[in-house]
Amino acid sequence: MLTVITFFWQLCTLRAHTSKVPTASWFVAMVVLANLITSLLLSTALSEGADPWRTATAIVVPQATFACLLWLALYFRSVEARFLPTLTSVFGCDLLLTALLGATLPLIRMIFDGAADSLLFAFFLWTIVIYGHIVHQALDIRYVPATGVALGMWFLSTVVAQAVLENPA
């Protein structure tokens, strides 16, 4: 377990390659499920009184949309065989960052009044940098355009989630 966490940490610090990620079905499923559960726990803890189904939808829809967009990008570059390691890398890094955010946010709120928004923004930027690193390796494109692609995927995933969660008039 420590080896897996260490690997994802190396990926989060841009020192590992996605080709080294295990692609066994059970491992991919465990990473995706752990990411979903961790995100759900943190989201419900941060938004007291929120509807749990709405919270779950707000987590699952962008993750599923991002996975679909990732597969499409890999398909258009004719490297769709890289989908599982890339998906596992994205969700594994997201899992690690979510757990790190969950561990640091209460401490930051306690010590620095009003610094939580800055911390969330820093985590967002770090996430986009990591996604850019992963997309750069998966699509074999330069880092800056890959970061732009990753940001576009994140943005489109967020738009789809907001459309799904929109209250009917």
Q: Residues 19, 21, 22, 23: is their CA dihedral positive or negative?
A: negative
Helix ranges (DSSP H) in the chain: 2-12, 25-46, 52-76, 83-111, 116-139, 143-165
pLDDT tens per residue across span 114-128: 777 888 898 899 999
Residue-averaged pLDDT of the chain: 91
- The Cα–Cα gap between 39 and 95 comes to 8
Sequence-distant (≥ 6) Cβ neighbours of residue 27 within 8 angstroms = 88
How far, in whole angstroms, is CA 38 from its chain's centroid? 11
| Predicted confidence (pLDDT) at residue 96 exceeds the cutoff of 90 | yes
Predicted TM-score (pTM) of the model is 0.90
